[in-house]
Amino acid sequence: MNYTKHLFFSLCAGLLSFQAAAYTDLAHMISVTIDSPAQQQPVGTTLGHWQDLSSSINCDSPIAPDNYRFSNNGYTTTGVTLSDDGKRYPVFKTYLEGVGVALAVREKGTSAWHPVTENQTSVSLNKSDNNIVFEVKGIYVKTQKTLVPTKVSQEVSLVKISCMFSSSSVSMPIELSVRSNGATQKAETCNVTNKTQSVYLGTHELTAIRKLKVGQNFGHARAGLTVKCDAGMNVYFTLGDHLHSGNINTDTLFLENHNTNPGFAVQIFEPEKSEPYKLGGDKKTGSAHQYPFYKTGNSTSETITKYLDFKYVKLSDDVKATEGNAQATITLIYK
């Protein structure tokens, strides 16, 4: 990226002295994501990872500097300190409620990052060159118990860097205006459009069912659960027997009159599959028998329909003529 810099200077006793306003560049931090785990974390926890903010800010001077100074110009700290890789970073106040930012600077081509503080920090340059490039990174840090989302984009820090020869400035100071894109509340549930459905498995002749083998299926119906999920969601589901909450770890949904031993029940399948789903529970869902529902992409929300097949299954040779009513629940689990 090329910039035109207007320099105003005067020569005094053979020393170059710059008396111009700082040149300002701009960098954006992606929005911080607020979710339940973030709300439960203690103050001082990082929210996300370090973000590279700029690799284009540089000192372009007629005299090769031997050190540089930097600070966060005009911003105050929160009292929270971030410890990372053996260094302590002061966390600066931002307009985001409950969210501060820590910053670091280094000369490009070197490995050591230096914490940005309120006061000027002086660091020796690794190389002698008329054009020194710097890198800046930032990270969000939790500063209070409750995080509050906001869609406002605003500056959160102003990193000022001056290239020096001995104690004299040799170029126009550089300022990097660091802006945040806000704090976004992560959607943690999907919107279900058809929460209650009925399926009809047909009416069947008792004599024909009695001729079937135990374990054989009869009747069939298909139903779909349609949900809209935000980007970046990984959704699983578990099935339950609503009328018999203790019916867990089986592959059979009992009829409502199961206590009369009707001789048949209901099974639920993934379409075109022969192995029925097992039940994970209705009132309480454990970690067993959780099945993938859908994983959305990272850029846009998606509307998904998950289809399930329902079939009767013969449980004994003593099948009775009765209504074959049962109630299944599907619980969505977000990971």
Chain segment 150-184, per-residue pLDDT in tens: 999 999 999 999 999 988 888 888 899 999 999 98
Chain segment 58-92, per-residue pLDDT in tens: 888 888 999 999 999 999 999 999 999 999 999 99
- In degrees and rounded to multiples of 5, residue 6 shows phi and psi of -100, 115
| pLDDT at residue 13 greater than cutoff 90 | no
From the list 121, 78, 60, the residue with the least C-alpha distance to 113 is: 121
Q: Are 121 and 38 in contact (CB under 8 A)?
A: no
- Write the Ramachandran bin of 182: left for phi over 0, alpha for psi from -120 to 50, otherwise beta: left
Over residues 105-117, mean pLDDT: 95
From the list 113, 152, 165, the residue with the least C-alpha distance to 136 is: 113
Burial 39-73 (b: 16+ CB within 10 A, else e): eeeeeeeebeeebebbeebbbbbeebbeebbbbbb
User: What's the gap between Cα 3 and its chain centre?
Assistant: 36
Regarding predicted confidence, which is higher, 151 or 312?
A: 312
Structure tokens given for 148: 């509050």
From the list 189, 149, 224, 184, the residue with the least C-alpha distance to 296 is: 189
Report d(CA 65, CA 127) in Å as an integer: 9
Report d(CA 279, CA 241) in Å as an integer: 7
- Write the Ramachandran bin of 56: left for phi over 0, alpha for psi from -120 to 50, otherwise beta: alpha
The set of residues, in sequence order, having a beta carbon less than 8 Å from that of 332 and lying 6+ positions away, is 189, 190, 192, 227, 235, 236, 237, 293
Q: Tell me, what's the pLDDT at 21? A: 53
Structure tokens given for 92: 């600066």
Confidence grade of residue 37 (pLDDT, cut at 50, 70, 90): confident
Confidence grade of residue 19 (pLDDT, cut at 50, 70, 90): very low
CA dihedral of 247, 251, 252, 253, whole degrees rounded to 10: 60
Regarding predicted confidence, which is higher, 229 or 84?
A: 84
Model pTM score: 0.63
Identify any residues that bridge with 291 across adjacent strands, giving them in sequence order. 237
Rounded to the nearest integer, the mean pLDDT of the chain is 88
